[in-house]
Structure 1
Amino acid sequence: MKFIYSFLFILLFFASCKSSKEAYNSYTNLTAKKKVTPLILQTWYQKDYGQDTIPGISLDKWYAQNKKKPKSKDIIVAIIDTQIDLKHEDLQEKIWTNPNEIPNNGIDDDKNGYIDDINGWSFTGTKSGGYIVWGNFEYVRIVREWETLYKDKIESQITAQELSNYKEYLRAQKILEKEINYYKNWLKSLNYSVLTYPIAKDSLKHYFPKEDYTYQQLDSMYKKYKINDKTFRQRREDRDWDIGAMIGFMKARLDFNEHSLEDVKENETQADSILNKNLNINFNERTSLGDNPKILEKGYGNNNISNNKTNHRTIQDHCTKVSGIIAANRTNNKGIKGISDNVKIMPLNISYSGDENDKDIAMAVRYAVDNGAKIINMSFGKEFSLHKEWVFEAFKYAEEHNVLLIHSAGNNKFNVDENPYYPSDNCFDGSKEVCSNFINVGSISLKLNSMFVSRFTNYGKQNVDLFAPGDEIYTTGAGNVYKTDSGTSLAGPMVSGTAALIWSYYPKLTATEVKQIIMDSGTPYDLEVIVPGTKDKKVPFSELSKSGKVLNVYNAMLMAEKVSKHKK
């Protein structure tokens, strides 16, 4: 049956290519002829290369030509992420509301296991009504969990069944030791900087009474006072040597984007928290949740998905950016236009400073499936997974219920065929993929040259499915603002929004069909690109993902129409 279905899909794909030859061109001799103005930069990812010579997703082209109305009700897209800014002007009426729950009555009205889950759920919500700010990195959890089993043991003492976990423990332990040493040294340096900053500032006041110096001015002044080995002994007691040191110190602060003593102290606080919380094997964020971390269970956490206090906006920013790309209002003449207007966002909080917990990932996926989501966007990732089996089971659960999973490939600039990156549909043990409803998305820029693939993105011929714009993306931000940011976190929702658009017009398609349509209908670019993480190693763009293509909404909608017609 699977072979017959695959054969039919191939026939449909080639039929759609034949009937729309222009739409599926592989572009060569690429040049960006149109000047990229600040206004175009805000919407570049929505452009079409054939019309605009800008390698966007051809969204504007599809909307300009489409005359049809959506066939289905709003598509629910679950965003498993941070908190969200529910008050953002461009997301009004775009947030999912649980139709079977009575607000704030303290009762689980719909009997889904979550009390007062009106707009979603925070799996990082604490018993006191707050939320987790700091959590462990996953390799810390692995060392803590497996230390009693494997500490100080050699491989010959390990059984064949435990060998894989033993090696993962050693890998985690090595990274933990390295990171602890790094942050200890950085914190020591910041402690020194906090003490030295007022002295340096006072020393430079003689030269800059208004304290309005730039990096360039300091650099020019530093060169003037720079001392070589021959004159060191003669001038070591000279006041100019002290000034030179203070100039060098202040230059370094500007290099680290520290423009005030408050900035230095903030970095000191961050480094201290990373060392004593993220990397601390004795710190466990689960204690404030009151759950049992050993089992999967409903009900822990709270319904506080959006703490709108001004000083809490940072923790809302990521989810707000992702949501805007997918669902920002297209008709209110404000801010930006989301990919699909026919969407409701279901915010599910699992992210904080640290690595997401596999239990929260699995339970959020199951919540999304059980409460009507068709698409789950996951713009997060990590290099270790302590309970990957929980996540795999949740992914299979989503597959059984025809729900599509979209994941951002990550910003580590490495090959995820060789370096595990989670969550994934790959067990990284040589076995086949665990599900057929998972799309992993890398990032491209608007540069039609060797820098076409974003320098930060992960890649992989087997484990990255396709690419989408993720460089310099203008979107919604927490605090009712708009901002530009980069990362595969912004490429993933391009695909999620496209899937929602497809389903809103062709609701009878399956998750597997939508995935295949998105991958097959992408735009191939005939470019030699620099491999992320290398200085100048070049390969064909097609070698960095399974499809070798970039998301194309226009093509996807054409193909979806043809596949849908053949299903009738």
Structure 2
Amino acid sequence: MSFVARLPYSRLALLGLLTFASFSSRAQTAPTPEQVRRWQHLDLQADGVPGISADKAYRELLGSRVPTPVLVAVIDSGIDTAHVDLKPILWRNAKEMAGNGVDDDKNGYVDDVRGWNFLGGKDGQNIAVETLEQTRIVAQYRAQFEGAKRKKLSVDDQVKFDQYQRAKKSFEKDLDEENKQLAYLKEAYSNNTFSFGKMKQALNVAVLDTALLRQAAASRADVPSAGSLYAFLRRNHFASTDDALKSLDQAVTRSRNRVEKSLNPAYNPRPLVGDNLNNLAETGYGNPDSQGPDASHGTHCAGIIAGLRGNGLGADGVAGDMVRIMSVRSTPSGDERDKDVANSIRYAVDNGAQIISMSFGKDFSPEKAVVDDAMQYAAQKGVLLVHAAGNSSLNTDKDQNFPSARYLNGKFIPNEITVGASSRLNTSALTATFSNYGKQTVDVFAPGVDIYSSTPGNTYATYSGTSMAAPVVAGIAAVLKSYFPQLTALQLKQIIEQSATPYHTQVLRPGSKEMVDFATLSKSGGIANLYEAVKLADQMMAKK
């Protein structure tokens, strides 16, 4: 499941939470355009913002250096291959000829010019929505274990029974919460539609866009909420209230899909792919459509890593234009399958990726062993894995989230770096309220709240989540690899951890009202910092 923070943390949630009457209370704290669009690149000392100091690094340390090519794989929902900010930096498999139905490079994947899609069929159809893993476990074992007595089962079946009980509890909880959220979003859509309609009547217009609202705020004292509505739309990058309602409608659709599909044990789209799910060693299934039916999440992550810098469009990526982005699609709306994750990692490694960005995760991983094997394969090939910590406000030192920081045998995965999400405020809100954390299992934090980046159709949007924090770190790793190509995956991880800017700000522990030292929430105790990482890489190389 893609790790965009779910309600009430995303901008779509704000639409649901804010109605016409409450806009004014939000307008007073609107950030500047610079802070909204580029805050992750800023520096604490120079700009007063706890970003990664990317601008400072390029300005003071990298300007006279010559970068080398780096390939970063984004295992995600797909990437819009025509986006103006991404098209020049997307990987192309030079050994493959598009559309000829032949595996020209003999890598087992036919026509994989831009990457691969493990969620599609040979006929070109694609899975958009999948079930959650707990839904699949309930569907698989309900007939066998519902009403069964554990003590009467075999030892092997007791293990399965215990997993079924945990999955059932999680499934029922998620279904109840999603039904409530769906009702809430539908009501919010109705309320906002009514409120926006009333303002249109008051102003006698058909469209409430930002230009009109700005003018009304200055000239129409009889419509006092025009100014606060204008500020709300600007802050969330909506051109009009119609655009805002469109986004909320999309949130309603996603919630309905979770109720009717992701949390429906009878729903199973997998036959569309045509593979044998029981054969975990199977490869070559899928299709070359690495964009897929909804590439919003993957496109956003790709832009964070390497969207063109300095072109005056949208948002800048962390890495420069020597980086290429490979799209590997394994993450639907719903939970990814372990088999697809393992194959995605192996595909990326075998096709030259040096860094893999993975902004997905789930609560159960019944075939974790096959994912572990793929991660070990990546380690053997010197590939760095950058993984989002998750958005459940959990201490992952104690609670499970997959892919995890440890192998099944309990040993830490040496080439994986796990990333929590931080905000632009060096206050008690520095830690994203949704972010998972863990002194042992989360390596570092990075900007992940209100991150502006590319979305399909040459558009841009602000998302929040550890999904956004992981590609920030993947971008840092890509910069380091580009300017210091001799660095290994383990050295990249070491540099990013050791160069993180330490913060001892008292923050709210995610999921609680307890105040804690920010440094206690991750292994490094800090926020990833490109400027300091480049300095440390310089020092490391000088010793050789």
Matched ranges for 1:62-461 at <5 A: 62-66=57-61, 67-70=63-66, 72=68, 74-147=69-142, 150-160=145-155, 163-181=158-176, 210=201, 273-295=257-279, 296-306=281-291, 315-341=294-320, 342-427=322-407, 431-433=410-412, 435-461=413-439
Contact 2:118 2:344 (8 Å CA) reproduced: yes
Question: How many residues were matched structurally?
Answer: 475
Question: Partners of 2:419 and 2:184 in 1: how far apart?
Answer: 38
Question: Partners of 2:244 and 2:476 in 1: how far apart?
Answer: 43
Contact 2:386 2:417 (8 Å CA) reproduced: yes
1:149-173 deviation line (CA, Å, top 9, x unaligned): 5443333234555554432221101
1:508-530 deviation line (CA, Å, top 9, x unaligned): 12111110110011100121110
1:515-553 deviation line (CA, Å, top 9, x unaligned): 01100111001211101111x211111110111111011
CA 1:426/1:449 → structure 2, altered by over 3 Å: closer, same or farther? same
1:177-220 deviation line (CA, Å, top 9, x unaligned): 334455567778999x79xx79x98xxx9x9994989xxxxxxx
Q: Alignment partner of 1:136: what SS?
A: coil
One-letter identity of the residue aligned with 2:509:
V
Question: Partners of 2:85 and 2:245 in 1: how far apart?
Answer: 36
Counterpart in 1 of 2:534? Answer: 557
Contact 1:405 1:439 (8 Å CA) reproduced: yes
Counterpart in 2 of 1:546? Answer: 523
Contact 1:392 1:425 (8 Å CA) reproduced: no
Select 1:473's aligned residue among 426, 451, 476: 451
Q: Alignment partner of 1:461: what SS?
A: coil
1:284-325 deviation line (CA, Å, top 9, x unaligned): 121111011112322211111235xxxx5xx11111111111
Question: Partners of 2:180 and 2:483 in 1: how far apart?
Answer: 56
Counterpart in 2 of 1:57? Answer: 52
CA 1:407/1:149 → structure 2, altered by over 3 Å: closer, same or farther? same
Question: Partners of 2:430 and 2:183 in 1: how far apart?
Answer: 39
Contact 1:321 1:475 (8 Å CA) reproduced: yes
Between 264-273 and 354-363, report the one with greater CA deviation: 264-273
Between 482-491 and 373-382, report the one with greater CA deviation: 482-491
Larger Cα-atom Rg: 1
Contact 1:78 1:377 (8 Å CA) reproduced: yes
Counterpart in 2 of 1:524? Answer: 502
Question: Partners of 2:251 and 2:296 in 1: how far apart?
Answer: 19
One-letter identity of the residue aligned with 2:543:
H
1:402-421 deviation line (CA, Å, top 9, x unaligned): 00000111111121122201
Counterpart in 2 of 1:4? Answer: none
Q: Alignment partner of 2:462: what SS?
A: strand
Question: Partners of 1:381 and 1:562 in 2: how far apart?
Answer: 35
Q: Alignment partner of 2:290: what SS?
A: coil
Question: Partners of 2:534 and 2:174 in 1: how far apart?
Answer: 46
One-letter identity of the residue aligned with 1:543:
T
Question: Partners of 2:450 and 2:252 in 1: how far apart?
Answer: 29
Question: Partners of 2:38 and 2:200 in 1: how far apart?
Answer: 43
Q: Report the identity percentage.
A: 40
Counterpart in 2 of 1:234? Answer: none
Q: CA deviation at 1:566?
A: 2.9
One-letter identity of the residue aligned with 2:421:
S
1:42-87 deviation line (CA, Å, top 9, x unaligned): 2121111122222111111111112443353x11100001121111
1:238-282 deviation line (CA, Å, top 9, x unaligned): xxxxxxxxxxxxxxxxxxx99999999877765554333212222
CA 1:292/1:545 → structure 2, altered by over 3 Å: closer, same or farther? same
CA 1:164/1:512 → structure 2, altered by over 3 Å: closer, same or farther? farther
Question: Partners of 1:107 and 1:36 in 2: how far apart?
Answer: 52
Contact 2:125 2:272 (8 Å CA) reproduced: no
Contact 2:75 2:344 (8 Å CA) reproduced: yes
What is the aligned-residue RMSD (CA, Å)? 3.2
Q: Alignment partner of 2:317: what SS?
A: coil
Structure 2's unaligned 5+ residue stretches are 1-29, 205-240
Question: Partners of 2:36 and 2:149 in 1: how far apart?
Answer: 55
Question: Partners of 1:352 and 1:362 in 2: how far apart?
Answer: 15
Select 1:39's aligned residue among 34, 48, 64: 34
Between 333-342 and 463-472, report the one with greater CA deviation: 333-342
Question: Partners of 2:37 and 2:180 in 1: how far apart?
Answer: 40
Question: Partners of 1:368 and 1:179 in 2: how far apart?
Answer: 33
CA 1:155/1:84 → structure 2, altered by over 3 Å: closer, same or farther? same
2:464 is the alignment partner of 1:486:
yes
**TM-score normalised by L of structure 1:** 0.77
Question: Partners of 1:188 and 1:479 in 2: how far apart?
Answer: 30
Q: Alignment partner of 2:348: what SS?
A: helix
CA 1:87/1:264 → structure 2, altered by over 3 Å: closer, same or farther? closer
Contact 2:291 2:327 (8 Å CA) reproduced: no
Select 1:500's aligned residue among 478, 485, 488: 478
CA 1:271/1:521 → structure 2, altered by over 3 Å: closer, same or farther? closer
CA 1:60/1:298 → structure 2, altered by over 3 Å: closer, same or farther? same
Structure 1's unaligned 5+ residue stretches are 1-34, 214-256
Contact 1:142 1:172 (8 Å CA) reproduced: yes
One-letter identity of the residue aligned with 1:464:
V
Q: CA deviation at 1:459?
A: 0.8
Q: CA deviation at 1:121?
A: 0.7
Q: Alignment partner of 2:543: what SS?
A: helix
Question: Partners of 1:478 and 1:389 in 2: how far apart?
Answer: 34
Question: Partners of 1:186 and 1:515 in 2: how far apart?
Answer: 39
Between 48-57 and 449-458, report the one with greater CA deviation: 48-57
CA 1:49/1:177 → structure 2, altered by over 3 Å: closer, same or farther? closer
Question: Partners of 1:438 and 1:262 in 2: how far apart?
Answer: 38
Counterpart in 2 of 1:229? Answer: none
1:308-346 deviation line (CA, Å, top 9, x unaligned): xxxx5xx11111111111111124332222211121000
